[in-house]
């Protein structure tokens, strides 16, 4: 099984901050990675797929990068609507999610 | 915009079988560009993929759950279903159904989700 390690688990930031979340895989994913945003009581929403392709309707302040086993989600300027929990997901072998990163208000 | 809706009992007794159905609002359930997945989330915890079914009926399950999981598809009703046997309290979670986009011939990301349904396992 491919294990996904996401960091940090919690992040406190302010509106306008640049935010970076990292996901590490136990095997080379060949860019088979997606990022999701989840708000309380709601289903996740895809932000990025194939490591760096922006999902439909997703604001351009979200950027995905990385390769092989290390991937990053960056929010260039945090907006009030961005306070949420973020998950990475690998689909290189079956499917596995990272443990999540909760972005809180500082 | 496709819509997915989970349905089924909210309470299941230990050792029994959890059964859920996901209704899909359009004909994408018969399009080979998609597969159909179940994902769960215990309260306050992360997401766990359970398994998926392709329009061909071929299934793939999480290695940790494969001995207890069955996913089936009924395209005439635009539905797919989950059965999880021998449940325990550890199976208490919100269960989501989701459409899986097939990218470059590979089941990839989940592009549409149901709202989720809470299933509690308790006597």
Which residues have C-beta within 8 Å of that of residue B67, sequence separation ≥ 6? none
Query: Is pLDDT at A96 greater than 90 in this prediction?
Result: yes
C-alpha span between A68 and A90 (Å, rounded): 11
d(CA B35, CA B107) in angstroms, rounded, equals 7
SS3 at position B69: strand
Mean per-residue pLDDT for B7-15?
97
- By Cβ distance, the residue of B37, B103, B116 closest to A49 is B103
Report the pLDDT averaged over residues A25-35: 96
Q: Which of A42, A91, A96 sits opposite B109 (nearest CB)?
A: A91
CB nearest to A87's CB, from B37, B47, B111: B47
Name the pLDDT band for B31 (thresholds 50, 70, 90): confident
pLDDT at B56: 92
- Mean pLDDT check: name the lowest of A18-22, A52-56, B100-104, B110-114: B100-104
Chain B hits for A34, Cβ within 8 Å: 108-110
To which residue do tokens 């935010």 refer? A19
Q: What percent of chain B has pLDDT over 90?
A: 91
Residue whose token pair is 């609507």: A81
- Cβ of A46 under 8 Å from any chain B Cβ? yes
Given this model, what pLDDT does residue B32 score? 84
Contact across the interface for B107 and A91, Cβ inside 8 Å:
yes
Residue A99 clears pLDDT 90, i.e. is over it: yes
Residue pair B111/B49 in contact (Cβ under 8 Å)? The answer is no
Residue B95 has pLDDT above 90, yes or no: yes
Q: How confident is the model at residue A19 (pLDDT cuts 50, 70, 90)?
A: very high
Contact A95 B106 (CB under 8 A): no
Predicted pLDDT at A54: 98
**Is the CB of B46 less than 8 angstroms away from the CB of A99?**
yes
Cβ neighbours of A42 in B, within 8 Å: 115
């Amino acid at each position: 099984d491919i294990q996904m390690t996401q960091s940090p688990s919690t992040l406190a930031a302010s509106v306008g901050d640049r935010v970076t979340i990292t996901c590490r895989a136990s095997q080379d994913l060949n860019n088979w990675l997606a990022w999701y945003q989840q708000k309380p009581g709601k289903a996740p929403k895809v932000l990025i797929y194939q490591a760096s392709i922006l999902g439909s309707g997703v604001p351009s302040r979200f950027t995905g990068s990385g390769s092989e086993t290390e991937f990053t989600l960056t929010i260039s300027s945090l907006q009030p609507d961005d306070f949420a929990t973020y998950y990475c997901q690998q689909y290189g072998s079956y499917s596995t999610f990272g443990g999540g990163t909760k972005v809180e208000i500082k | 915009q496709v819509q997915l809706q989970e349905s089924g009992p909210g309470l299941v007794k230990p050792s029994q079988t959890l059964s859920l159905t996901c209704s899909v609002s359009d004909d994408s359930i018969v399009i080979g560009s998609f597969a159909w997945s179940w994902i769960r989330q215990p309260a306050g915890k992360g997401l766990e993929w359970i398994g998926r079914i392709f329009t061909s009926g071929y299934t793939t399950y999480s290695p940790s759950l494969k001995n207890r999981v069955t996913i089936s598809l009924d395209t005439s009703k635009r539905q797919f279903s989950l059965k999880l046997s021998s449940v325990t309290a550890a199976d208490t979670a919100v269960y989501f159904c989701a459409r899986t986009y097939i990218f470059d011939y590979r089941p990839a990301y989940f592009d549409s989700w149901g709202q989720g349904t809470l299933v509690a396992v308790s006597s």
